[in-house]
Structure 1
């Protein structure tokens, strides 16, 4: 199910990626007005210095910071925040994913492959048919609810989540099928609307259902978000549906996130994931409160109440996943104990 970490690493592959990226970026920045545009958008580069670090060290893509900075802080359209998430993660998350795989870190491959297959179907359908139907206000609220619930989950379950060791071995066919369903739903309903979400969904399944170690769950979430972001960029480019302003912000932030996200992967192994998760969880809850406050007139009392109910519903889903995971783990442990018993003792125990 997972890839065991061998001794040989291939960091030169990541080095080649950096050389290629910075070569392309240096070429793009020489175009008329490109350098001035990048300098003018320096606040986004500064914000993504923090966001990219969180993207590499937590199960949250760089868009988790880029979206609220553009939409809540700079008062830009939510569609711009979503498209920027795709664009910036296609560099930062990809750089982190290449770094992870070059170092041969363990990944939950069966569930990851299933989620990738589901995303291949759900992302284009969501971007082309579903996302255009979602109003700007709803995009903001959906983003706030998803990551607000994720933050609350970690604030009260952090000890349990960070205490997982290894990963419960279920049937690989089951893992693949589960990953496919999660990838399809998350890419269709979350990624296409907000630019993020499939990483959080897969991570939640790994830590709550499979009781996966954070050393497996977080790198797996980084890889799936990297793939989803590149796919999103491809679809947005084919359909010519980019929002104005994405490229200028990307020019400023891309050279920062190319190093920032892998740096997060590297440093978190030395300082531990729990402190970073707690900080980011608090920020996720904070952005939910900020969104409700900033949009209080548009939402009204009923809208804010519905947003809170939606957050509670997400928490209920997380808890159902946790209970389901607990029952699955107990079943696997019983099967393992039965296999270890001699034939005669196993028959007697069954009787």
Structure 2
């Protein structure tokens, strides 16, 4: 009973959302639109589960479904991802906070501040000028890199417990940098900041997945609200430059009631079962969508080399983070034995 009582904010959120959604559908007479957009609603049933149970926003499924399957522009996939995550990821975040799931506030707070800066700047000054193919490739590169990271490090990641304090003194600057950078990436693809926060936590901070995944969900929720709000305002100011396709709203209306429950369901289930099968399956899909994008878009030559090089570069950055997160004493790696079987040595004892 105590557990149910503390979930009242989540219940209140669901009641408020479904009342507003039902009002929008009824007032706008959108029933026929809902019927015609059922495929995206079904796709987001999977997308919302992924969003709540992994460090990946629902746009990770929505973007390729709309852009690769339905052959729609990358800008539409981005805006839909931000819009649908503003419900699904927010719903999962309300559940996470209500259930008192652990999150890393030290890194999250400055990251939110950074997202408040980077997301609107990216939406206003960068996103409108990036070619559609680049948006698709950026998305593909980010999540292919995520997939490779997990296929290499998954066993170690799922065994980690707690979180290291090695880099705690740098929380403010690391979080702010991740927020600004991730906000700009999210303004292009609709996702990305969640992966950056997650990768930093598990590689640099050696954080438990029970901490890293909820933290990534919350930052993606905040960034999604900032992103879709920024895009909506910009579209009103200058519709020709910041065009927002009406299909974004139609797809959102169909998918929103699904993700409002699907994302928190994923956040619940992931605490009851092993994360390994879900992360393995999602990581494999991330790599496959990169291949799909390359084939679908006919990417060859320098563009293909650039995309593959970008995947290698991102994974190189992941490896650097992992090495920086290694908190073993440097002396453990030196090629000499300590005198007299000693287990430690003072720096003052080492002479030039």
Alignment-derived partner of residue 94 in structure 2: 98
Alignment-derived partner of residue 208 in structure 1: 203
Is residue 315 of structure 2 the alignment partner of residue 315 of structure 1? yes
What is the CA–CA distance in structure 2 between the aligned matches of 1:148 and 1:51, rounded to whole Å? 17
Q: Alignment length, in residue pairs?
A: 331
What is the correspondence of 1:1-351 to structure 2 with a 5 Å cutoff? 10-170=6-166, 172-188=168-184, 190-240=185-235, 241=242, 242-296=244-298, 299-326=299-326, 329-330=327-328, 351=349
Deviation at 1:10, TM superposition (A): 2.1
| 2:44–2:62 Cα contact (<8 Å) kept | yes
| 2:74–2:136 Cα contact (<8 Å) kept | yes
| 1:87–1:250 Cα contact (<8 Å) kept | yes
What is the CA–CA distance in structure 2 between the aligned matches of 1:175 and 1:280, rounded to whole Å? 29
Aligned-partner SS, 1:271: coil
Aligned-partner SS, 2:55: coil
Superposed CA deviations along residues 62-93 of structure 1, whole A, max 9, x for unmatched, are 00000000000010111000000110000000
Deviation at 1:8, TM superposition (A): 9.2
What is the CA–CA distance in structure 2 between the aligned matches of 1:176 and 1:54, rounded to whole Å? 29
Alignment-derived partner of residue 338 in structure 1: none
Q: Say what the alpha-carbon RMSD is for the aligned residues.
A: 2.1
Deviation at 1:331, TM superposition (A): 5.5
Question: CA 1:199 to 1:333, structure 2 compared with 1: closer, same or farther past 3 Å?
Answer: farther
Deviation at 1:168, TM superposition (A): 0.5
Aligned-partner SS, 2:325: helix
| 2:55–2:213 Cα contact (<8 Å) kept | yes
What is the CA–CA distance in structure 1 between the aligned matches of 2:346 and 2:37, rounded to whole Å? 72
Deviation at 1:38, TM superposition (A): 1.3
Question: CA 1:110 to 1:30, structure 2 compared with 1: closer, same or farther past 3 Å?
Answer: same
What is the CA–CA distance in structure 2 between the aligned matches of 1:94 and 1:182, rounded to whole Å? 20
Aligned-partner SS, 1:106: coil
Deviates more, 1:254-263 or 1:272-281: 272-281
What is the CA–CA distance in structure 1 between the aligned matches of 2:331 and 2:121, rounded to whole Å? 40
Deviation at 1:32, TM superposition (A): 3.9
Question: CA 1:172 to 1:323, structure 2 compared with 1: closer, same or farther past 3 Å?
Answer: closer
Aligned-partner SS, 1:76: coil
Unaligned regions of 5+ residues in structure 1, if any?
A: 1-5, 335-345
| 1:9–1:104 Cα contact (<8 Å) kept | no
Deviation at 1:60, TM superposition (A): 0.2
Question: CA 1:98 to 1:320, structure 2 compared with 1: closer, same or farther past 3 Å?
Answer: same
What is the CA–CA distance in structure 1 between the aligned matches of 2:303 and 2:312, rounded to whole Å? 14
Question: CA 1:332 to 1:28, structure 2 compared with 1: closer, same or farther past 3 Å?
Answer: farther
Unaligned regions of 5+ residues in structure 2, if any?
A: 236-241, 333-343
- Please give the TM-score of this superposition, normalised by the length of structure 1: 0.90
Question: CA 1:332 to 1:91, structure 2 compared with 1: closer, same or farther past 3 Å?
Answer: farther
Deviates more, 1:269-278 or 1:60-69: 269-278
Superposed CA deviations along residues 115-136 of structure 1, whole A, max 9, x for unmatched, are 1111111111000001111100
What is the CA–CA distance in structure 2 between the aligned matches of 1:236 and 1:333, rounded to whole Å? 52
